[in-house]
Chains A and B, each alone.
Chain A
Amino acid sequence: MGNKRINNLFLNLFVGWCIALFSISSVQSQEVGGGTLYGDMLTVTQDMLDRAASDSNNFLHTNGNYKQTRYYPARQINVGNVDRLQRAWTFETEVVESLETTPIIVNGVMYVTTSFNHVYALNAETGQEIWHYKHDMGPITTYCCGPNNRGVFPYGDKVYMGTLDAKLVALDAKTGRLAWATQIADPELGYSETMAPTAVDGKILIGTNGGEYGIRGFVKAYDADTGKELWTFHTTAENSVGVWATKDATGRDMLRDIRAEKAALKKLGDPYKTLGGGVWQNMAIDRETNTVYFVAGNPSPDLYGAIRPGDNLYTNSLVAVDLSTGKYKCHFQYIAHDVWDLDAVSPPILTTVVDDRGNEVKGVLHAGKTGYVYVHRAKDCSLIRFSEPMVVQENRWVLPTPEGERMLPGANGGVEWSPMAIDPNLGLAYAINLHQPMTYHVEATPYPGGKLWLGGAFKVIAEEQQWGNITAVDYNTGKIKWKVKTEQPMIGGILATGGGLVFTGEGNGWFRAFDSKTGELLWQYKANAGVNAPPASYNVGGNQYIVVGAGGNVQLDYKRGNEIIAFKLGR
């Protein structure tokens, strides 16, 4: 090696060291001074979380705020200039697989997760990596619909994540080092975690997947400092029989054989121990009434109802519990004794709604897999109205047969786990929809001990056309305000902003912005993979950004990738 090459080597090392030093100090300065209006700018305080709905700098909650409106108030990017929106940076994760993460932004630092539970902290202004955490996955995982993760939740000096092997982990937000981990439930029995937790008042709230495996669903609260379990609410009641409801929330007969079910109940007893009722998505928190609202998913097994007589409470329900104790407050069941897996998955939203007497009341919105938006009174969970159907309804509720019966919506629903957004100023809820014709097949199947337990099969009718919609629903009337048809069924999520825009992505890689009043397409960007994750927004250095994951989706087999893409206005 000659002297010149040695000199060049030292020069390169010195330059690299200077760049690294500058990068670190730049990140640190942003962590401290990146600009939130609230808090001490070092940790995520309860006050910051409570004020998140009006915070135009950070994005602290999976769905924007405790009410889960996914309405971001910043308006720097708006209907008048969104055509100038440009890619600011792209970060490539190590994992090329479904991305369902909602980026969380705290004082200029972004936290994203990937399939198989990797977590990245990034400089939100540049996309540079600050740290990378890989969960030490146990050998046993049991999950439905992909090795997904929907993000972290920041609280204090930590970020929290649920894992595929059914753990809750707390990481040091500055370093990514593991602070503690606790086992939530047994993955061998079908429990897993893909949802982001929710932190409030020193508690970390989390539900569970497993409705396809005969679990007993729950929401649990853990101590944020220690990981100690504080309370559990089981989503399958010990008396799960209910009132033998014959009609669903929209008044349609579900063709139940009540006599046969009552005979089965005598013979088999209450099925609550393996009845499913997963909770896939974050809960809304009413801070005024100390109430937690969430939706519980399908009963197990999905299609074979004869083995689980009764209404199967509280599956397919909106449920409210007390934040301090986990005690039941109220519920509303959309489909009693569901045998179609058209359950309740998309996270509920708290907002003011007009009731059936014309009075403004505190309400809860939920987009069902049935393809309707349901509007409830928050005080007792009762139903005020349901919207016009956002998707084609055909042959509902034909009973599954061994040979298969065609029905729409298909079993991925008219709305999947994808969160809605609302614009409270317009009184509109924005949902993304699927049109996927399927046949429903039933087969008598005893509990298989933690294995996939569908009690039959769902089959996509390959020769029929599929598509999607983006739909705006007036939640005070139930009328559809506008609807945009998409090339493919939609899954991922949507964001509304104070700039009069809604952002959402598609499986074909298009990420688009629409006028939230009219549905007019205003801007689009083609990513390298499906954009099937909920977008977020934030402000750093005086610029508003829109950010979204483009990693495709395993459930609908949309092209996989590994990109986190941030956008800001060009000049």
Chain B
Amino acid sequence: MIGRLLNFILFVTFAGATITLADTNTGDEYAPVADLLKSCQVCHGDQGASTEQQYPILAGQEFYYLYVQLKDFKSGLRANPIMDPVVSALDKDQMQLIAKYFSEQVWPDTEYASDDQVTRSAITVITAGQCIACHLGKFDGDSRVPRLAGQHPEYLAKTMLDFKSKSRQNSPAKGSLLASFADQELINVAQYLSSL
């Protein structure tokens, strides 16, 4: 992670001149944020199809969820040492364009698995928490509710544990609910969701 962070700082410092990225091929619509999109892909992978566990997949994520997260990073509701400097200078139009770009990409195939014991534990938590009522049956999300299916398990687990510990506070209802589960239960849920 430190290596990525250093790369990212270098990228921001030299405005993208020092790092060669896959062609973003953004077209005219995304020209105003082309350089910003390149910086996003330093960590989040080509077209947002992250292959590293700690960076969430953005490709194919819900537009409005992504936009709200960018707004929350900027307002400080969601604190993150990597994202804070990225979003501080973004305006609303830029945030919406970035969110739209990633929402239009294809969610990558991931091949995570969940064994029977983990799956049983996860389904018990999901039933108790009525998670499907918001995230929908396939955990595909919709609009302001993120897709969780196929997301990296490490990122999902960290997210839930951060909600539980209140180190992430930009979805208060999530924090209240997750606080009532054991850490290992949430890790099991993360593994199960990643396998969907």
Question: A557 to B139, alpha carbons, bound, how many Å?
Answer: 12
In this complex, the interface size class of chain A, counting residues with CB under 8 Å from chain B, is: 20 to 34
Q: Are A145 and B133 in contact (CB under 8 A)?
A: yes
Greatest chain B CB density within 10 A among A139, A460, A557 is at A139
Task: List CB contacts (< 8 Å) of A302-316 with chain B.
Answer: none
Query: How many cross-chain pairs have Cβ atoms below 8 Å apart between A and B?
Result: 84
The distance from the CB of A557 to the nearest CB of chain B, in whole angstroms, is: 5
Q: Are A147 and B142 in contact (CB under 8 A)?
A: yes
Of all chain A residues, the one with the shortest Cβ separation from B143 is: A141
The distance from the CB of B189 to the nearest CB of chain A, in whole angstroms, is: 13
Task: List CB contacts (< 8 Å) of A469-506 with chain B.
Answer: none
Taking the complex as formed, is A174 at the interface, i.e. its CB lies under 8 A from any CB of chain B? no
Taking the complex as formed, is B136 at the interface, i.e. its CB lies under 8 A from any CB of chain A? yes
Q: Are B143 and A445 in contact (CB under 8 A)?
A: no
Task: List CB contacts (< 8 Å) of B134-193 with chain A.
Answer: 134, 136-137, 142-144, 170-177, 179-180
Taking the complex as formed, is B124 at the interface, i.e. its CB lies under 8 A from any CB of chain A? yes
Chain A residues closer than 8 Å to B179, beta-carbon distance: 402, 441, 443, 457
Question: A462 to B129, alpha carbons, bound, how many Å?
Answer: 9
Chain A residues closer than 8 Å to B137, beta-carbon distance: 97, 554, 557, 560
Of all chain A residues, the one with the shortest Cβ separation from B75 is: A449
In this complex, the interface size class of chain B, counting residues with CB under 8 Å from chain A, is: 20 to 34
Given contacts A139-B63, A139-B143, A454-B173, contact A555 B180 (CB under 8 A): no
Q: Are B124 and A441 in contact (CB under 8 A)?
A: no
Task: List CB contacts (< 8 Å) of A21-35 with chain B.
Answer: none
**Prevailing SS type, chain B contact patch:** helix
Render A258-292 as a binary contact track against B, CB cut-off 8 A, 1 for contact. Answer: 00000000000000000000000000000000000
Taking the complex as formed, is B127 at the interface, i.e. its CB lies under 8 A from any CB of chain A? yes
Of all chain B residues, the one with the shortest Cβ separation from A187 is: B143
Of all chain B residues, the one with the shortest Cβ separation from A116 is: B142
Partner of B132, one of A147, A439, A459, A557: A557
Taking the complex as formed, is B64 at the interface, i.e. its CB lies under 8 A from any CB of chain A? yes
Question: A460 to B176, alpha carbons, bound, how many Å?
Answer: 14
Besides A140-B143, A554-B136, A557-B127, 14 more A-B contacts (Cβ < 8 Å) are A139-B63, A402-B179, A448-B172, A451-B170, A452-B171, A453-B172, A453-B173, A457-B129, A457-B180, A458-B130, A460-B129, A460-B130, A462-B124, A557-B137
Residues on B facing A (Cβ under 8 Å): 63-64, 124, 127-130, 132-134, 136-137, 142-144, 170-177, 179-180
List 9 contacting pairs A-B, 8 Å CB cutoff, sorted by A: A144-B133, A147-B142, A443-B175, A457-B176, A459-B177, A460-B127, A460-B130, A557-B137, A560-B137
